[in-house]
Amino acid sequence: MSSKIYVPPIKIQGIKTKLVKWIISQIDFEIKGRWIEPFMGSGVVGFNLRPKRAIFADKNPHIINFYNSIKNGEIAAHKVRVFLESEGRKLFMKGEEYYYEVRDRFNKYHDPLDFLFLNRACFNGVIRFNSEGKFNTPFGKKINRFQKAYITKIVNQVRYVEENIRRYDWEFITQDFRKTVKEANKNDVIYSDPPYIGRHTNYFDIWMEKDEYDLYELLKNFEGKFILSTWYRNKYRENRFIKALWSEFNIVTKEHFYYVGGKEINRNPIVEALVLNFQPKTQDKSQEFEEYKEKVKKPYRSLFQAHK
Ligand SMILES: C[S@@+](CC[C@H](N)C(=O)[O-])C[C@H]1O[C@@H](n2cnc3c(N)ncnc32)[C@H](O)[C@@H]1O
């Protein structure tokens, strides 16, 4: 991996741009099978790791559709430039009203280029779909959003993915994580980055205790290597699933700051965790963590028996 972090064209809440180096530094072995991301989101981790073979899956069909459109040539860097120049001009001329025109158009036809436009012009870059699956993030209020330098930046981001999709064997699939993990085999490496419980209110991003428990069961029985991204604690509370489920694995932690969104958990520093079923490069040996692990396990397990 080069020292420069590549940023993908579609941004998403919980994007791991600031943690990519840390996550990838754990992979100091050859990946014999596929790199598998059951929760692709922006794809920033895999796109920077650049494995020869990969499965990028997500429940959100619009993300997957965007990358499959690059793969089948419907979207290419030069088309993105022409599109954003023309749509950016209309946004500048018509203002806010035009954003909502594109939003309505997207909710009708699901054009991946409109998805890109909305992702870059909406409020705070927040991807939010309502219970009918309609994109409903309001306008980000910048009518001159698509200036030349900004368009060039996005075009370069698309070009990077385009070149890598051509070079490598990468598949993009819309599906639930349970199917993706079940289909993995012992030579594969799974990077799992699920939504955090209670953090998002997005139709494609609903995450309940049952989901966390299912993921735990699947990863526990997975014969290959996995890395799970989750949170360890924030200013106010700790992630009880670490104690209840994940503490039997290796855990490394890192303090991080989230900027996206308006909720309490997003505005504060957060200690991120990586849960691994193999020896990490940097183990957390802090007193606090050791004590934490001591207290752990069985009593908390009973919390989850109901899901079995
Ligand atoms: C935290 S984001 C992943 C972020 C990604 N690692 C990145 O750096 O951009 C979680 C993703 O999981 C997807 N997702 C939520 N529930 C899912 C499910 N049941 N199966 C598959 N994907 C799901 C969401 O659509 C979202 O893109």
Containing domain of residue 83, as a range? 70-162
Task: Assess if residue 170 is contained within a domain.
Answer: no
Task: Assess if residue 140 is contained within a domain.
Answer: yes
Residues 23 and 48 in one domain: yes
Residues 152 and 220 in one domain: no
The tens digit of pLDDT for each residue in 110-144 reads 999 999 999 999 998 888 999 899 999 999 999 99
Nearest CA to ligand 1 atom 16: 205
Tokens of 29: 């072995």
Residues 125 and 220 in one domain: no
Spatial separation of the C-alpha atoms in residues 193 and 15, rounded to whole Å: 10
To which H or E segment does residue 166 belong? helix 148-167
Residues 267 and 187 in one domain: yes
To which H or E segment does residue 80 belong? helix 77-94
Residues 252 and 289 in one domain: yes
Q: Is the CB of 41 under 6 A from ligand 1?
A: yes
Task: Assess if residue 21 is contained within a domain.
Answer: yes
Residues 44 and 180 in one domain: yes
Q: Do residues 36 and 58 make contact, with C-beta atoms less than 8 angstroms apart? A: no
pTM of the entire structure? 0.90
Q: What is the pLDDT of residue 248?
A: 94
CATH of the domain at 136: 1.10.1020.10
Task: Assess if residue 88 is contained within a domain.
Answer: yes
Residues 196 and 295 in one domain: yes
Task: Assess if residue 211 is contained within a domain.
Answer: yes
The tens digit of pLDDT for each residue in 234-257 reads 878 899 999 899 999 999 999 876
The tens digit of pLDDT for each residue in 172-219 reads 999 999 999 999 999 999 999 999 876 666 778 889 999 999 999 999
Distance 291 CA to ligand 1 centre (A): 31
Residues 143 and 51 in one domain: no
Reported as a pLDDT band with limits 50, 70 and 90, residue 306 is very low
Q: Is the CB of 191 under 6 A from ligand 1?
A: no
Reported as a pLDDT band with limits 50, 70 and 90, residue 285 is low
What is the atom index within ligand 1 of the atom nearest the CA of 11? 9
Nearest CA to ligand 1 atom 26: 41
Residues 179 and 41 in one domain: yes
Q: Is the CB of 180 under 6 A from ligand 1?
A: no
Residues 197 and 49 in one domain: yes
CATH of the domain at 232: 3.40.50.150
Query: Which residue, of 109, 131, 162, is where some domain finishes?
Result: 162
First and final CA of the chain: distance in angstroms? 41
Higher confidence at residue 291 or residue 154? 154
Q: Is the CB of 39 under 6 A from ligand 1?
A: yes
- 3 state DSSP class of 170: strand
Spatial separation of the C-alpha atoms in residues 240 and 231, rounded to whole Å: 10
Mean pLDDT of the chain: 89
Q: Is the CB of 176 under 6 A from ligand 1?
A: yes
Residues 46 and 110 in one domain: no
**Number of structural domains, the chain?**
2
Nearest CA to ligand 1 atom 23: 59
What is the atom index within ligand 1 of the atom nearest the CA of 14? 1
Query: Which residue, of 127, 162, 197, is where some domain finishes?
Result: 162
Distance 287 CA to ligand 1 centre (A): 32
What is the atom index within ligand 1 of the atom nearest the CA of 39? 12
Query: Which residue, of 162, 186, 221, is where some domain finishes?
Result: 162
Query: Considering only CA atoms, which of 220, 242, 228, 230 is closest in space to residue 292?
Result: 242
Determine the residue of 5, 36, 59 to mutate for testing ligand 1's pocket, defined as the one with the most ligand atoms within 8 A of the Cβ atom: 59
Q: Do residues 160 and 167 make contact, with C-beta atoms less than 8 angstroms apart? A: no
Residues 182 and 53 in one domain: yes
Distance 94 CA to ligand 1 centre (A): 34
Task: Assess if residue 2 is contained within a domain.
Answer: no
Task: Assess if residue 10 is contained within a domain.
Answer: no
Task: Assess if residue 274 is contained within a domain.
Answer: yes
Q: What is the pLDDT of residue 302?
A: 40
